[in-house]
Amino acid sequence: MTIDWKKEVEARKDDLMKDLIDLLRINSERDDSKVTVDAPFGPGPRDALKHMLAYGERDGFTVKNVDNYAGHIEYGEGDETLGIFGHMDVVPAGDGWSTDPYEPVVKDGKIFARGSSDDKGPSMAAYYALKIIKDLGVPLSKKVRFVVGSDEESGWGDMDYYFQHEEAPDFGFSPDAEFPIINGEKGNITLTLNFKGTNDGEIHLVSFKSGLRENMVPGTATATLTVADEALSAEIEKSFTNFTTAHPVSGTIKVDGTTLAIEVVGKGAHGAHPEAGMNAGTFLALFLDQFDFTSGAKQFLHTAAAYVHEDFYGEKLGVAYEDAKMGKLTMNAGLFSFTEGSDENYIRTNYRYPQGTDADTLVAGLEKTLGAQGATITRGERNMDPHYVPIDDPLVATLLQVYEDHTGQKGFEQIIGGGTYGRLLKRGVAYGAMFPGYTDTMHQANEFMSLDDLFRATVIYADAIYRLAK
């Protein structure tokens, strides 16, 4: 059967864009302060999940909502099931946007909005690919299930719940990364460095805050200080001006007698690529570490400045590791919090680690390096082991062939630090929707997706689903 997939996508471009824009208007950031039985991750993720499932109902698919944790849109029959995994939740919008992150704007051939590239845009491309197959009545020998998640950017509690209630597909892909394919993903764990909230001496760290999520490079950081006299205030103010001149960050300092409020502005980035950002938290700590803080405040600031700052590969922290296939371990410090007198003071560090090392080794390395700094180490709830599907697996081979046929470019395997739903299945990969050479704006201000890439990905997904399930 010969199908002109590009022609079929062209005929549905306007409908695809309308559906995508309506979906992007939903602020689907996780909000734990508004969690209910009906909204396990807050109202935003629930509303976006239900909105996406409603498209499936409108278009005549078999649809199931699994208690507002996740759901699926299904088509076809067969003994095997091809799974496609997308997610409707997004990371917090953060600061620095030129437009409203939840009022999509189309300009210069791109659509700007939070979630446009991660992952509502790619999910809509995959959904319309499946819709085309249904519209055409293409005969399939396998069932196709589009699984829609709502907690991918946080703890993956959506998929934990979903797989407790539904059978896993046999193989599949997630449209949440890059072409030509992602068939390997590093391990992923968050380790928290904990400190006492003690201060004494002539200068006190009253508070220090930076970051939105552990998988984002913090774009801003703030601190409040109190000092012994106004002469010391003036010294710190002058030093801050010199610091922002000498370093690739900006900021403000406000002095009110012996109280100082400082803000540093860096550059956000995806936590899987910490080297692409300017971590405002570690730069602010680097500035403050030159002054005579004591006790827990000193330990907190010195750890951030001397061990965490620009330690993208865990070398200063004593956990560096490199594998010939998967590459280097990476470390992102995504959340910083210190409040004088509090027992909850921490730096949350997120590691993307290759095969050959493990969580126990990372914890032991941190304890050895940071024990003298007064830090204690605690683990996050989730540890994802490294994941790899061989390049000669029929799933990988088929997807690479589809990519080659539609782009004229040679396919190749890739291994990333980012974590996608592709790793949920033993034979699971990530596949698009970003093409080689794209500008990565995921987890950043002014996130966008190229419309040409959006429609081209839809063509590839339609052919890929057909070849895998025909």
E strands, 37-127, in order: 62-66, 70-75, 81-87, 105-107, 110-112
Q: Where are the alpha helices (H) located in 11-42, listed in sequence order?
A: 13-24
All residues at 6 or more sequence positions from 142 whose CB lies less than 8 Å from its CB, including other chains: 76, 78, 79, 80, 81, 82, 468, 469
Angle at 419 between CA 107 and CA 306, to 5 degrees: 95
Output the six-digit token pair for 173: 């892909």
CB atoms within 10 A of CB 134: 17
Helices (H) and strands (E) in the chain — how many of each? 11, 26
Kindly report the backbone phi and psi dihedral angles of residue 262, in degrees, each rounded to the nearest multiple of 5, phi listed first. -120, 140
Give residues with Cβ within 8 angstroms of 22, minimum separation 6: 51
Q: How many CA atoms lie within 13 A of 241 on its CB side?
A: 7
CB atoms within 10 A of CB 38: 9
What percent of the chain is helix, strand and coil (3-state, nearest 5)? 35, 30, 40
Do 239 and 289 meet the contact criterion of CB atoms below 8 Å apart?
A: no
Reference 364, options 314, 305, 306, 312; nearest CA is: 314
> What is the set of active-site residues?
89, 152
Closest CA to 131 of 223, 20, 237, 22: 20
**Local structure of residue 304 (DSSP, 8 states):** I
Neighbours of 222 (CB within 10 A): 18
What would the two tokens of residue 231 be? 């002469």
Q: Which residues contact 461 (CB under 8 A, 6 or more apart)?
A: 125, 126, 129, 130, 175, 431, 432, 433
